[in-house]
Chains A and B, each alone.
Chain A
Amino acid sequence: MITRRSVLQGAGGAAVLGTLPWNEAFAEFFERSQAIPYPPESLVTACGICDSACGMRVTVKDGTIRFIQGLPEDPHNEGRLCAKGTSSAYIRNDPDRLKYPMKRTNPRKGLEEDPRWVRISWNEALDLIAEKYTEIRSKYGQEALLAISRGRPPWFARLYSALGMERVDHNDLCYGVDIVISNQTIGRHTFAWDLENAKYIVLFGWDMVARAKLSLSNRLLHAKENGARVINFNPMYTATAKFADEWHPVRPGGDLAVALAMIHVLLKENLYDRDFVSQYTNFPEYETQIREHFEKYTPEWAEKESDIPADVIRRIARQFGSTRPAVAPLHKKTLAANYENAAPLCHAIAILNILAGNIDRPGGHYFPRTFEIPGLDAIYRPPAYPKLPAKRVDGREKLPLAGGYGMFSTLADGMLNRYPGRVKFLFWNNYNLSSLPQRRMMEEALKTVEFMVLVDILPMDAMYFADVVLPSTMFLEGSDIIVREMAAKSPFAVVRQPVVGAPFEAKSAAYIAIELGKRLAPDYFRKADGSWISPSELLDEQVRRSGLGQNFADFRKKGFVAGEKPFIPATKFATASGKCQIYIPAFAAKNYDPLPNWRPKRDLPSADYPYYLITYLPAAHKRNSTQNNPVLFEIDGTPYVHIHPSTAARHGIRDGARVRVRSRAGEAVGVARLTETIRPDAVAVPHGLGHRSPWLSVAGGKGFCDNDLIPAQTIDELVQHGNWLGSGCIMDAVVAIEPAV
């Protein structure tokens, strides 16, 4: 709040305005976090919509949530929230929510079929699942089991491991490639950049601020306040571009060329941090190879692949090389990172950061400082888990260096063609069909599954293929300890607590996993004394062992704990050599490129499909998971197709008219928005929306799904194309456009 007193105490009042730089003249207005008033009776918790997990204060009145605001003391969100967190009570209170366990009575599956749900009790549901699991496993063996689920919550992870279920998640659609590259180059994957102390920031493709992961966008904001120079390469002008001092509309996929040419300049002109590079990297060992390798990637060459003038690339490289500290953050699903050339791009950007000498240094890319919370397996040690089948349905064993769990982009092909009919028992937790490339293929694959369990909070499309549905709680109804790695410069832990009770018969993931565990793999869910392990005891233990309090109730009373740790820059890195690796020997051993080579993205414009498809993330949504929130739907619900006016004119498409977008894989119809903020050779659509389930009263049948335009992959294609780390290419498509009637 701005008061007269604060202004008079500030920079000296209005009289000096105009002689002061703005950040001094207005400084008192932007002294933010501590000044936010909140009702004293409000409860502390943490948002569960994105990984930023911002601290929240929730005001509850008469059992309903009245207001949600940021937790002022939380260094990540500094007392603020984005639209998704602010309006999350609308998810909690969604009238469409799943209320009771149900089972299907119509054996035919598909979106055109009514499953004819029948309400059953929790015990019936759990018994039925246990019975089917046992039957299928004894009939078809372990290979018939599959979980489509994240590894979190840890309870589910334990259940899948105990049951010997292969697990697939969105690893390839997200930052899987970046994780592998980070592990190989700097030893650890992080989303942490000390932007507020950086002086020069190069953002490739990243719409950092509109992603509204506030822990990151706040850092960029402070960077601007502190006078950093920000460069943004992106085919589309975004909210991030507005923060940037320079916006360069790079050709889609051309970021890699720019990054390679920047490395060329840094090496040629010796504009790198010599102390860091000679002490902490394997540059000295491979210097000749490295220098030779980048010789060919001149700015003049890069201009042809990126449309960024050579002199601009050269200037930016020189500024990047001579301004300290400088940093080039990379985040998942930037417009560049999910093309087929994602691996060399991540590698090139890692090299830029290493050459800038900024790994775990102030103003650079750092390793998060957090509280160490012992995990489920550390507290309740499980017996050895059964070995998983060697041949995975998604074929990931063919990409031995690819990390994480599974590949969504090859899963449907695996289930339909590679191993038809192999998956008989499927446990599906909290993903939506519209998250998968070519969801219709996945639907066909799901029809071949004998028994499918679905755990979710809303009746999403996947429910049309489920045999049993279990309603789960959402984050405002559960308990947890939140320490986040994103942008954590010093340890901070915040409580997650049930601010309101669960609606109807919804149950927590822990309940579901433990109850199924008791029935199917009791040894993994028992303590040494024979009693069942318990979620509340786990939390107590975790709080106690990590020093956050005496027990969870105590921690809950505190709300949050902030720790102090002096920032001691790393001198050893968790790679094979203990050094930052510009040259990756493990890649060389596998015949992969040990240094990043130029390669184009997968789909390039042709006569049939003349335009690059660009997908962006609407700031007000966490993709399909928030589309049914009526407030967010109202803010951003129209499926806009962004087209440059000159391009639209060529096809007779008018602003606001319906437009059909076609790719080699499918088509979608949206509403044309003509804009000067996009390259004329590109068309932009929002990513990951478009439900079809009519059970979703707000979002059902609205919008379109960009994944219908994205070609799915086969594992052999990935291998043939040298896509060794398994990029899902979920942004890699080219399209044609035409007016739709």
Chain B
Amino acid sequence: MRSYGWLFDPKRCIECSACEAACKQWNQVETGVNVRWRRVLRQESGTFPNVQVTAVSMACNHCENAFCQKVCPVRAIWRRDDGIVLVDTDRCVGCGQCHIFCPYGAPQLNLATRKTTKCTMCFDRIEQGLAPACATVCPTGALQWGEWDAIEGRGSDRLPGMAYPRQMRPHIRFVTEPWRS
């Protein structure tokens, strides 16, 4: 069965957070409870004036071998046939094991409900033939989404400074080529 993934080009990301806003709107994620399924992370390096900033829009990477799923004591996390990793909030007891083991900070505790929530890859949109909300609005196309088969061979599997647990096989690739090569 076909699965999906992300392609991200950090040099195109303008740190506008449209991806995060779109995610909130489509998924009706509550505000003010410390839950941001998608977030734009920013990393500075170097010293003034030779400074560099890398921004990455990060959500769940729907890993093929998801640690979050492995460690969940009540089996509240499962991976669908199409590779989308979901949390069953009814089962979740909010123990936070998945938060510790996911290197991307994807599972987050909703402070109001004390349950874990995270990116669903907008499976409900995908089922209607639409792309996930975040990738639909990203103004520069820095964040792209598509069939994993097509993305997997592309770009690089890691960015400097980003966690890369080889065994987990996160479904994300990065365009690391400069503007002109």
- Distance (whole angstroms) from the CB of A73 to the closest CB of chain B: 15
Residue in A82, A214, A633, A679 with the greatest tally of chain B CB atoms within 10 Å: A82
| Residue contact A212 to B53, C-beta cutoff 8 Å | no
| Residue contact A212 to B14, C-beta cutoff 8 Å | yes
In the complex with contacts A212-B139, A224-B179, A634-B31, A249-B17 CB distance below 8 A = no
Q: Which of B62-70, B75-83, B101-109, B125-133 is near enough to bind chain A?
A: B125-133
A101 to B22, CA, bound (A): 33
Q: Which of B87-95, B112-120, B141-149, B159-167 is near enough to bind chain A?
A: B141-149
| Residue contact B14 to A217, C-beta cutoff 8 Å | yes
A635 to B15, CA, bound (A): 11
A433 to B155, CA, bound (A): 49
Which residues from A are CB-within-8-Å of B130? 37-39
A18 to B21, CA, bound (A): 35
Q: Which residue of B lies closest to A77 (CB)?
A: B139
Within 8 A of B (CB), among A80-111: 80-87, 89-90
Within 8 A of B (CB), among A528-579: none
| Residue contact B129 to A37, C-beta cutoff 8 Å | yes
In the complex with contacts A1-B145, A679-B48, A82-B36 CB distance below 8 A = no
Which residues from A are CB-within-8-Å of B32? 630, 634
A80 to B131, CA, bound (A): 13
Within 8 A of B (CB), among A604-649: 619-620, 630-636, 644
A30 to B177, CA, bound (A): 14
| Residue contact B141 to A32, C-beta cutoff 8 Å | yes
A249 to B50, CA, bound (A): 10
| Residue contact A217 to B140, C-beta cutoff 8 Å | yes
In the complex with contacts A83-B21, A212-B16, A239-B14, A67-B177 CB distance below 8 A = no
Interface residues of A toward B: which range? 35 or more
| Residue contact A39 to B25, C-beta cutoff 8 Å | no
| Residue contact A67 to B26, C-beta cutoff 8 Å | yes
User: A508 at interface (Cβ–Cβ under 8 A)?
Assistant: no
| Residue contact B180 to A242, C-beta cutoff 8 Å | no
Which residues from A are CB-within-8-Å of B131? 1, 36-37
User: A7 at interface (Cβ–Cβ under 8 A)?
Assistant: yes
| Residue contact A237 to B51, C-beta cutoff 8 Å | yes
| Residue contact A3 to B22, C-beta cutoff 8 Å | no
Q: Which residue of A lies closest to B131 (CB)?
A: A1
Which residues from B are CB-within-8-Å of A680? 48
A224 to B25, CA, bound (A): 31
| Residue contact B25 to A676, C-beta cutoff 8 Å | no
A1 to B146, CA, bound (A): 5
| Residue contact B175 to A2, C-beta cutoff 8 Å | no
A242 to B52, CA, bound (A): 8
| Residue contact B141 to A631, C-beta cutoff 8 Å | no
A67 to B136, CA, bound (A): 11
Residue interface bits B26-44, CB-to-A below 8 A is 1, else 0:
1000011000100000001
| Residue contact B36 to A634, C-beta cutoff 8 Å | yes
User: A118 at interface (Cβ–Cβ under 8 A)?
Assistant: no
User: A271 at interface (Cβ–Cβ under 8 A)?
Assistant: no
A247 to B48, CA, bound (A): 11
Contact residue among A66, A224, A619, A677 (Cβ-Cβ distance under 8 Å from B53): A677
| Residue contact A26 to B175, C-beta cutoff 8 Å | yes
User: B154 at interface (Cβ–Cβ under 8 A)?
Assistant: yes
Residue in B7, B14, B53, B138 with the greatest tally of chain A CB atoms within 10 Å: B14
- Distance (whole angstroms) from the CB of B11 to the closest CB of chain A: 7
A21 to B177, CA, bound (A): 8
Q: Which residue of A lies closest to B36 (CB)?
A: A634
Contact residue among A23, A26, A86, A214 (Cβ-Cβ distance under 8 Å from B21): A86
Overall SS of chain A's interface: mixed
| Residue contact B154 to A7, C-beta cutoff 8 Å | yes
Q: Which residue of A lies closest to B31 (CB)?
A: A630
In the complex with contacts A242-B53, A619-B14, A69-B144 CB distance below 8 A = no
Residue interface bits B4-17, CB-to-A below 8 A is 1, else 0:
00010101101111
| Residue contact A83 to B129, C-beta cutoff 8 Å | no
Residue interface bits A8-49, CB-to-B below 8 A is 1, else 0:
000001100100011101100110100011110000000000
A385 to B53, CA, bound (A): 55
User: A265 at interface (Cβ–Cβ under 8 A)?
Assistant: no
A80 to B21, CA, bound (A): 13
| Residue contact B18 to A86, C-beta cutoff 8 Å | yes
| Residue contact A619 to B17, C-beta cutoff 8 Å | yes
Which residues from A are CB-within-8-Å of B155? 26
User: A121 at interface (Cβ–Cβ under 8 A)?
Assistant: no
User: A709 at interface (Cβ–Cβ under 8 A)?
Assistant: no
User: A70 at interface (Cβ–Cβ under 8 A)?
Assistant: yes
| Residue contact B177 to A25, C-beta cutoff 8 Å | yes
| Residue contact A677 to B21, C-beta cutoff 8 Å | no
| Residue contact B48 to A21, C-beta cutoff 8 Å | no
| Residue contact A87 to B11, C-beta cutoff 8 Å | no
Residue interface bits A668-695, CB-to-B below 8 A is 1, else 0:
0000000111111000000000000000
| Residue contact A249 to B49, C-beta cutoff 8 Å | yes
A530 to B18, CA, bound (A): 49
| Residue contact B16 to A4, C-beta cutoff 8 Å | no
- Distance (whole angstroms) from the CB of B52 to the closest CB of chain A: 8
| Residue contact B128 to A39, C-beta cutoff 8 Å | yes
| Residue contact A82 to B177, C-beta cutoff 8 Å | no
Which residues from A are CB-within-8-Å of B7? 2, 29
| Residue contact A239 to B15, C-beta cutoff 8 Å | yes
User: A659 at interface (Cβ–Cβ under 8 A)?
Assistant: no
Q: Which residue of B lies closest to A237 (CB)?
A: B51
| Residue contact B14 to A86, C-beta cutoff 8 Å | no
| Residue contact A635 to B44, C-beta cutoff 8 Å | no
| Residue contact B21 to A247, C-beta cutoff 8 Å | no
Which residues from B are CB-within-8-Å of A644? 48
A412 to B16, CA, bound (A): 35
A359 to B149, CA, bound (A): 48
Contact residue among B16, B44, B137 (Cβ-Cβ distance under 8 Å from A70): B137
Which residues from B are CB-within-8-Å of A239? 14-16, 55
In the complex with contacts A39-B130, A237-B51, A675-B146 CB distance below 8 A = no
User: A227 at interface (Cβ–Cβ under 8 A)?
Assistant: yes
Which residues from A are CB-within-8-Å of B46? 676
A676 to B43, CA, bound (A): 11
A87 to B145, CA, bound (A): 21
In the complex with contacts A39-B130, A83-B17, A4-B149 CB distance below 8 A = yes
| Residue contact B180 to A620, C-beta cutoff 8 Å | no
Q: Which residue of B lies closest to A230 (CB)?
A: B179
| Residue contact A676 to B44, C-beta cutoff 8 Å | yes
Which residues from B are CB-within-8-Å of A214? 139
| Residue contact B31 to A22, C-beta cutoff 8 Å | no
User: B151 at interface (Cβ–Cβ under 8 A)?
Assistant: yes
User: A209 at interface (Cβ–Cβ under 8 A)?
Assistant: yes
| Residue contact A631 to B31, C-beta cutoff 8 Å | yes
User: A231 at interface (Cβ–Cβ under 8 A)?
Assistant: no
Q: Which residue of A lies closest to B128 (CB)?
A: A39
| Residue contact A83 to B16, C-beta cutoff 8 Å | yes
Which residues from B are CB-within-8-Å of A70? 137, 139
Please name 24 pairs of A and B residues whose Cβ atoms are closer than 8 Å in the assembled complex, sorted by A.
A1-B147, A3-B150, A4-B150, A17-B154, A21-B180, A23-B179, A26-B9, A39-B130, A80-B137, A80-B140, A83-B16, A86-B18, A86-B21, A87-B21, A212-B16, A217-B14, A225-B179, A242-B11, A619-B15, A635-B20, A635-B21, A676-B48, A678-B48, A680-B48
Query: Which A-B residue pairs are the 3 nearest by beta carbons?
Result: A2-B146, A22-B177, A14-B153
Besides A26-B155, A83-B18, 11 other A-B contacts (C-beta < 8 A): A2-B144, A17-B154, A22-B180, A67-B26, A90-B25, A209-B16, A212-B14, A239-B14, A249-B49, A619-B17, A677-B51
